[in-house]
């Protein structure tokens, strides 16, 4: 029987860089109505993606329906797949339970210039599970294997990876074993079951056992852990303790586009220690305005402006009078209104500072 070879594609360079720099692989999680085209561009810019001590190593898109990309609704979904040059390497995440749809969608996104395709086999959203996709794939391994094979047929020249959870109702190492047997270049494991959602701490204590299984079945597969990674420092710690190759950051990116910039994180820590709070606040608010304008420019015609308000809650948090500002921002309906509210607020805190 011919040995299955792993198509690493761009991941080979990512892996070599991590080894050369003696650091983990740090990537951004796919999050619906969060890691859209606008926010990814802001993250790539302010985390200095591709620069020394900058990151992330790889960006993920929001998850996108492969079925939808094969339907007349394709044109709207293509807005979710827009990306800029500074976002490379970038992986598109697709979901479906239909191999034929995955084959077509994978071919489409490969043609758009994505560096890789990741298959969502862990999302607990009920509407996605009703389609037999996302977390529902854990209950039908045969279908999951067929979808992986179809993605490889549709996008033969780029890497095909999978993101999943440790099980559906309970921890299921047999499921992870099946995925590892597919000789994936990358397997990302959210260390909670579907049943647990995000209601319990991620089970990082299980990662060493998953690493051991990986080493036995597919030692070349890059293993990325996901769940409750709070900072780059925490990422280093979790990788060191668990033995995986890298971590995927999710909620930690909210309100913190420079998360992956190691130099900035150190500078921010020093600034906070010096209690020079106003400069940090002003910088975050100006970044938020830039993010809002970009959202309106890129996605204003296809997405509700209310999506930005979850970002306002994250940007405007952790200092005196933040709540008052958030209330005013929640009343805005466009980027111009946001800028006016922020400009007035910034003028007030700078004026107060000059009078002290």
Which of 128, 136, 123, 91 has the alpha carbon at shortest distance from 226?
123
Edge-first strand listing for the sheet containing 222-226:
25-28, 246-249, 222-226, 186-190, 159-165, 116-121, 90-95, 59-65
| Rounded to 5°, angle at Cα 281 from 55 and 42 | 30
| Rounded to 5°, angle at Cα 24 from 237 and 5 | 135
Active site residue 123: yes
| Sequence-ordered strand ranges (E) for the chain | 25-28, 59-65, 90-95, 116-121, 159-165, 186-190, 222-226, 246-249
Question: Which position among 69, 123, 285, 349 bears the catalytic label?
Answer: 123
Which of 182, 166, 164 has the alpha carbon at shortest distance from 174?
166
Phi-psi domain of 188 (left: phi exceeds 0; alpha: psi -120 through 50; beta: other) = beta
- Return d(Cα 108, Cα 249) in angstroms, integer: 27
CA 233 to chain centre: 18
- Return d(Cα 191, Cα 166) in angstroms, integer: 6
Q: Phi then psi for 50, rounded to 5 degrees?
A: 90, -10
- Return d(Cα 316, Cα 293) in angstroms, integer: 17
Q: Phi then psi for 101, rounded to 5 degrees?
A: -70, -40
Radius of gyration of the chain from Cα atoms?
21
| Rounded to 5°, angle at Cα 15 from 41 and 145 | 85
Active-site residues: which are they? 123
């Amino acid at each position: 029987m011919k040995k299955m070879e792993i198509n690493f594609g761009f991941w080979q360079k990512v892996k070599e860089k991590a080894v050369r720099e003696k650091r983990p692989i740090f990537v951004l999680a796919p999050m619906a109505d969060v890691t859209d085209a606008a926010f990814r561009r802001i993250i790539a810019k302010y985390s200095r993606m591709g620069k020394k001590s900058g990151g992330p190593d790889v960006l993920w898109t929001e998850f996108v329906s492969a079925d939808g990309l094969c339907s007349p609704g394709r044109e709207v979904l293509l807005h979710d797949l827009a990306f800029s040059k500074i976002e490379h390497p970038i992986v598109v995440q697709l979901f479906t339970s239909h191999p034929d749809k995955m084959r077509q969608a994978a071919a489409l996104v490969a043609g758009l210039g994505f560096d890789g395709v990741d298959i969502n086999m862990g999302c607990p959203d009920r509407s996605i599970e009703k389609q037999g996709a996302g977390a529902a794939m854990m209950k039908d391994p045969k279908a999951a294997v067929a979808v992986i094979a179809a993605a490889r047929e549709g996008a033969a020249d780029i890497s095909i990876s999978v993101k999943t959870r440790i099980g559906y109702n309970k921890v299921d190492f047999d499921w992870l074993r099946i995925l590892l047997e597919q000789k994936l270049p990358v397997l990302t494991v959210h260390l909670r079951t579907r049943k647990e959602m995000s209601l319990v701490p991620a089970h990082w204590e299980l990662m060493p056992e998953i690493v051991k299984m990986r080493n036995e079945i597919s030692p070349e597969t890059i293993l990325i852990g996901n769940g409750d990674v709070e900072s780059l420092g925490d990422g280093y710690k979790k990788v060191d303790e668990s033995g995986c190759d890298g971590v995927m950051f999710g909620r930690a990116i909210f309100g913190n586009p420079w998360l992956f910039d190691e130099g900035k994180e150190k500078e921010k820590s020093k600034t906070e220690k010096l209690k020079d709070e106003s400069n940090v606040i002003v910088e975050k608010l100006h970044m938020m305005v830039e993010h809002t304008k970009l959202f309106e420019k890129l996605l204003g015609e296809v997405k509700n402006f209310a999506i930005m308000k979850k970002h306002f809650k994250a940007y405007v948090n952790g200092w005196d009078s933040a709540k008052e500002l958030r209330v005013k921002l929640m009343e805005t309906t466009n980027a111009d209104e946001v800028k006016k509210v922020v400009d007035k607020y910034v003028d007030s805190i700078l004026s107060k500072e000059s009078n002290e």
